[in-house]
Structure 1
Amino acid sequence: MRLLIADDEENLAQALKAVLEDAGYNCDVCFDGKSAIRLISQEIYDGLILDIMMPEKNGYEVLSIIRKKKIDIPVLLLSALNEVDDKVQGFDLGANDYLSKPFSTKELIARIKVMLKENIVDDSYLQFQDILLNKKEETLSCKNIKYQLSKYECSILSLLIRSELNRVPVWLVIEKVWQNKVDVDVKTVSLYVSYVNRKLKALDSKAYIKFDEENIELCVNI
């Protein structure tokens, strides 16, 4: 599970990163609202730990913007503001949970576990343009024709379809699809992208994956 921690108290953010990584999560940190919006829009995270009182954009503004962009990442708000109206405002904007400062790290971890578990939905089917990905069966369909995928091919397509921009960095593919195996590199990703592209072509789909050494992107032939 990959989390983003957005808090302008840098010492606290780094301390939370250390605690959560000890609990088994991969964490990135940022210290202002604009950076949080940029990272959430560009990267794939499983959850956002979001402070309210931040520069550039406060937590409420960040939450409002990402929900308007239809980014459904689970969000836990952190704040020293603990009045009922503050919590109601957060939930009205789309927060999944709210934790008042100061808090215990044990409670934070427990709330994150519950939040991420509750966010699990049946996303067995993912669609992009004229293709339908069945994650459970690991099949790819287009125009009533179906191809079987390997688990790596399926995972690559799933990452791309779920990404807001349909683009992910190669290092994230290696992390998410291969769990950072030491023998996996850019050439491995390139090879599996070529496998997927062959199947997309065989299905006569308009979709294809563009590859360079930094990013892969799901595109459409016009």
Structure 2
Amino acid sequence: MKGKRILIIEDDQRIAQTISKGLKEKEFETEIAYDGKIGSKYAVSGEFDLILLDLNLPEMNGYQVASLVREKDQETPILMLTALGETEDKIEGFERGADDYLVKPFDFRELLVRIQALLKRSKVAMEKENHKIQVADLIVDFDAKLVFRDEKSIQLTPKEFGLLEFLIKNHDRVVSKAEIAEAIWDQNASQSLNVIEVYINFLRKKIDKDFEPKLIHTKSGMGYVLRAE
């Protein structure tokens, strides 16, 4: 999540600064607004990957800010922070466009987990909408059947593309040879074991050999995983 920009709309300066400091230590970029009016102007700019939004704000409350943001932006995740933990308050927050709700006081570790989950969910949704997935500098365009690594076009056979498509759609998850065999060769792993290994080597030569970081990793006894390490 390095480099992601987070807008903190919180009128309690101590809380806002504490959150900002913690997020910066995790390599996020942050901006703070101390009232709803200024926060809403920042929020609709489209420059942020996530909005942390307090409910009780001067000038304009969190419900109003969320509604205004959602009129212009349906994608940016909104995480509401509030001392109000009643069900009715949460329901209204969600109805106004919040994606998640965290009741004060909270542990920063829980806030961080919520933020990471929302950013990951947002990234997956965007990938599905664009029909592309990027891991490190590898980009796979499923509609055009194109593959790029470090902006260089990589030519793959249909079977190689199918294997790469399966790996990148499951990126960061170890997939077994049995899963690959069923998805790509429509047969069991015992029949396809050698073939899978051959095609994994084909892919490595094309998308890993001349590039860093290496993306296709073997997990002994488990299978393969595509991720930047």
Q: TM-score range by the shorter chain?
A: 0.5 to 0.7
Instruction: Note closer, same or farther for the CA distance 1:108–1:134 as it changes in structure 2 (3 Å cut).
Output: closer
Aligned pair 1:37/2:53, yes or no?
Answer: no
Normalising by structure 2, we get a TM-score of 0.54
Question: Which letter does structure 2 place at the counterpart of 1:65?
Answer: L
Question: What's the counterpart of residue 158 of structure 2?
Answer: none
Shift of 1:119: 1.4
Q: Can you give the 5+ residue segments of structure 2 that lack an aligned partner in the other structure?
A: 142-147, 152-229
Match 2:88 to one of 85, 105, 113: 85
Match 2:16 to one of 13, 16, 30: 13
Secondary structure at the aligned position of 1:56 is classed as: coil
Question: What's the counterpart of residue 65 of structure 1?
Answer: 68
Shift of 1:137: 6.1
Match 2:112 to one of 109, 112, 122: 109
More strand per residue: 1 or 2? Answer: 1
Structure 1 runs, 4 residues or longer, greater than 6 Å off:
none
Instruction: Note closer, same or farther for the CA distance 1:18–1:134 as it changes in structure 2 (3 Å cut).
Output: closer
Secondary structure at the aligned position of 1:81 is classed as: coil
Aligned pair 1:100/2:138, yes or no?
Answer: no
Give me the whole-angstrom Cα distance separating, in 2, the residues matched to 1:99 and 1:125. Answer: 27
Maintained 8 Å contact 2:80/2:100: yes
Give me the whole-angstrom Cα distance separating, in 2, the residues matched to 1:39 and 1:82. Answer: 26
Shift of 1:118: 1.2
**Structure 1 range deviating more: 64-73 or 109-118:** 64-73
Q: Can you give the 5+ residue segments of structure 1 that lack an aligned partner in the other structure?
A: 128-132, 139-147, 152-222
Alignment of 1:137-156 (within 5 A): none
Alignment of 1:115-130 (within 5 A): 115-121=118-124, 123=126
Aligned residues: 142
Maintained 8 Å contact 2:44/2:73: no
Shift of 1:36: 1.2
Instruction: Note closer, same or farther for the CA distance 1:78–1:125 as it changes in structure 2 (3 Å cut).
Output: closer
Secondary structure at the aligned position of 2:81 is classed as: strand
Secondary structure at the aligned position of 1:103 is classed as: coil
Q: CA RMSD in A?
A: 3.0
Give me the whole-angstrom Cα distance separating, in 2, the residues matched to 1:134 and 1:3. Answer: 23
Aligned pair 1:23/2:34, yes or no?
Answer: no
Secondary structure at the aligned position of 1:45 is classed as: coil
Secondary structure at the aligned position of 2:101 is classed as: strand
Q: 1:77-110: CA deviations, max 9, x gaps?
A: 0000000100111111111100000001011111
Instruction: Note closer, same or farther for the CA distance 1:126–1:91 as it changes in structure 2 (3 Å cut).
Output: closer
Q: 1:50-92: CA deviations, max 9, x gaps?
A: 0000011100000011111234210100000000100111111
Give me the whole-angstrom Cα distance separating, in 1, the residues matched to 2:127 and 2:121. Answer: 16
Shift of 1:122: 5.1
* Larger gyration radius, structure 1 or structure 2: 2
Identity value in percent = 35
Secondary structure at the aligned position of 1:14 is classed as: helix
